[in-house]
Chains A and B, each alone.
Chain A
Amino acid sequence: MRSIQEKLPEFERLGVKPVAISVDAPAVSAELARKAGYTFPILSDRDAAVIRRYDLLHKGAGEGGGDVSRPAEFLLDRNGVVRWRNLAEDYRVRARVEEMLAEARKLSGAR
């Protein structure tokens, strides 16, 4: 998410809006945004309803055995259709922001 923030002007130029989602409460996400300087939206899925809907629930993997989302990224076009996705096989290894930017460029028709 740090790299997303670094490339935020580029995403904005391409007209692609990054948005982060986790099970954290809004206050916890607000603290993260403040400390890390994130200015893109961070949404709270407290009961993991959306995370479940997207089939991303990682049971008992959170702090204190709570359910969390596995890391995953989806790039949607203006109609809400998935154009690219990344389901990390290893939660340490996440998609590089360069790859996401390249996909975002394809979407906006920019180069």
Chain B
Amino acid sequence: MKGRFNWPLWSGLLLSVVAFLSYYGFFSQFPVTRDVPWVPFLLFLIAAALLVAGWRRAPRKTLASIVAVLELVVIGVFVFLVTVFSRDLPRSGRAPAVGQQAHAFALPDTQNRTVALSDLRQGSNGVLLIFYRGYW
């Protein structure tokens, strides 16, 4: 490759990757930046602007096109993950509704001691059950 290093093109791609990873690695931990992923979208916007600038200054468009496609794939996958994918949940039509009795259970805790719902209810005003996907 002759000519100057096309920094807008490459920094645009790098920024889009950083934006993607920063959401799952950091911003998804806080409700303010998780529920609406505005930080990565803002960064994607800047990345797209850099991409356009880089594309314009590229003498040969082949490499610039490949970089552009890569960046659009990164952005596209992110949009898919935070819209379609994360909303693909079961219907849970038979989950206990408000006013219904919650199903009894007894499960092992982190020390393998069995804890029953009835134990938790003992001497308390209520129990907050938090079902979660697991620790990956």
Q: Please list the residues of chain A having a beta carbon within 8 angstroms of any beta carbon in chain B.
A: 1-4, 11, 14-24, 26-33, 41-45, 50-51, 53-59, 61-63, 68-85, 87-94, 96, 100, 104, 107-108
Q: Please list the residues of chain B having a beta carbon within 8 angstroms of any beta carbon in chain A.
A: 28-29, 31, 34-35, 37, 82, 86-87, 89-90, 92-105, 107-112, 115, 117-118, 120-121, 123-136
The residue that B131 contacts in the complex, of A14, A31, A71, A92, with Cβ under 8 A, is: A71
Contact A17 B34, beta carbon cutoff 8 Å: no
Q: Tell me the complex Cα distance, A84–B97, Å.
A: 8
Contact A69 B133, beta carbon cutoff 8 Å: yes
Q: Is the interface of A mostly helix, strand, loop or mixed?
A: mixed
Contact A11 B128, beta carbon cutoff 8 Å: yes
Known: A19-B120, A50-B105, A85-B98. A90 touches B86 (CB 8 A): yes
A-B contact pairs, 11 of them (CB 8 A): A11-B128, A17-B127, A20-B130, A26-B109, A26-B111, A26-B112, A29-B109, A42-B110, A61-B133, A76-B121, A76-B129
B96 to chain A, nearest CB (A): 5
A6 to chain B, nearest CB (A): 12
Contact A26 B126, beta carbon cutoff 8 Å: no
Known: A68-B134, A85-B96. A91 touches B125 (CB 8 A): no
Q: Tell me the complex Cα distance, A21–B127, Å.
A: 12
Q: Tell me the complex Cα distance, A87–B134, Å.
A: 16
